[in-house]
Amino acid sequence: TTTTLISLMLRQAGHKVYIGGNIGTPLLDQIENIRSGDQVVVELSSFQLMDMEAKIHTAVVTNVAPNHLNYHLDYAEYCAAKKNIFRLQSESDILVLNAANAESSSWAGESKARVRFFNCDKSEAAHSWLDNKFIELKTCADDLEIALLARDEVLLPGRFNLDNIQAAVLATLDSAGFEDMQQVAKSFRGVQHRLEWIRRLDGADWYNSSIDTSPDRTLKTLEALREQGRDIVLIAGGKDKNSNYEKLGQAIVKSTSRIVFVGANAPLIEASILAAAGAEELAELEIRHCDSYGEAIASARELSVPGDAVVLSPAGTSFDHFRHFEERGNIFRQLVLAEKA
């Protein structure tokens, strides 16, 4: 989402923009077309960063939480890979960090670049923060403080999307105007597979969040729907990444009693739910296990009532049944759209 927001803000400002990397579009075949004055926005995973040596002018780290521990030796190696995004930066470069994320915000002391914090209301450099009504921004060059955007003007649900907008604003501060940022933030409806609204069925809204390949991502999705006051039916399950599900179990118990499982890590998620639930919550749980997405959708539809949010948020990778999370999300969307009202 942040990668897309940055690219849209730059395009709105009149730049020619190339977007790619882990977001799904290879840029190698575009190399001959890219000119020195163009803007290139690249999403980089820990896999790509692990052995990368690249000088990146503007680096953004939205947050860091344990992930891909089935691939990396441990969390320390995962963090070391992420740090390569700023390791070769100089004093003329920019690093955007989340002051509310303890891990990544601590990296500021290791960077030679100019650090811009979001979720921060005091800093010598440009920074942004949220108050009860607005996304606030304070620039460095002219010491200007402005209320950039009202929170209720943002179409995307969830506090994490307000963070994404803050990160994109600080990343484009030198290349886009305030009006460009505002226009994009007010009109952006999100990206596929990230809390993507599919349709309303039997009075319930159905969402595809197939990109939620870790417990932390599912935590944020559930939080976003709770912030809207929604009652939730959760469809979860995928391939495990040696993840810790304890906090996810607590969040699920807090968010819903209706869970449909389809995927290899279903027993791990279910165990975390049962461990987190009290006696009263255990009595209310409605858990169903399914072997296919068609069966899972039918079960979720039976459990849903008008006004609900039915969301696919797997908390695991797609590699137990699919080639990638996009294929998983596309198949889920197609099946939901094929349901007869």
302-326 confidence digits (pLDDT tens): 999 999 999 999 999 999 999 999 9
Domain carrying residue 89: 2-187
The CATH number of the domain holding residue 46 is 3.40.1190.10
**For the segment 274-296, what is each residue's pLDDT rounded down to a tens digit?**
999 999 999 999 999 999 999 99
- CATH code for position 290: 3.90.190.20
- The predicted model scores a pTM of 0.79
Pair (274, 299) in one structural domain: yes
Query: What mean pLDDT is reported for the chain?
Result: 94
Whether 204 and 162 share a structural domain: no
> What integer pLDDT is reported at residue 202 of this predicted model?
96
Kindly state whether residues 175 and 215 are assigned to the same domain: no
Strands (E), 249-308: 258-261, 286-289
Considering the domain architecture, whether residues 333 and 241 belong to the same structural domain is answered as yes
At residue 227, the pLDDT reads: 84
Does residue 141 surpass a pLDDT of 70? no
- Nearest partner of 83 among 50, 58, 57, 116, judged by Cα: 50
Q: For strand 258-261 and strand 196-201, is the pairing parallel, antiparallel, or unpaired?
A: unpaired
Q: Residue 23 has what pLDDT?
A: 81
Q: Are residues 232 and 281 in the same domain?
A: yes
Instruction: Verify that 138 and 69 share a domain, yes or no.
Output: yes
Handedness of CA 272, 273, 278, 283 (dihedral sign): negative
Please tell me whether residues 176 and 214 are part of one structural domain: no
Give the pLDDT score at 25. 77
Cα separation values, 109 from 54, 60, 78, 137, 197, Å: 20, 15, 18, 23, 40
Residue 307, sorted as left (phi over 0), alpha (psi -120 to 50) or beta, turns out to be left
244 with 311, same domain: the answer is yes
320, 323, 329, 331: CA torsion to nearest 10: -90
Identify the pLDDT of residue 65: 85
Instruction: Point out which residues pair with 208 in neighbouring strands.
Output: 196, 312
User: How crowded is residue 326: how many other Cβ atoms within 10 Å of its Cβ?
Assistant: 15
Question: Which of these three, 187, 208, 233, is where a domain ends?
Answer: 187
Tell me, yes or no, whether 72 and 92 share the same domain: yes
> How many domains, in total, are found in the chain?
2
Rounded to an integer, the average pLDDT of 38-60 is 93
Label each residue of 65-93 as H, E or C: CCCCCCCCCCHHHHHHHHHCCCCCCCCCC
* 99 and 172 housed in the same domain: yes
pLDDT of residue 60: 98
The one-character DSSP state at 142 is S
Q: pLDDT tens digit string along 172-226? A: 999 999 999 999 999 998 888 989 989 999 999 999 999 999 999 999 999 989 9
Q: Is the pLDDT of residue 18 over 70?
A: yes
Whether residue 218 is found in the same domain as residue 180: no
> pLDDT for 204-219, tens place per residue?
999 999 999 999 999 9
Q: What is the percentage of the chain residues whose pLDDT exceeds 70? A: 99
- Average pLDDT on 233-248 reads 96
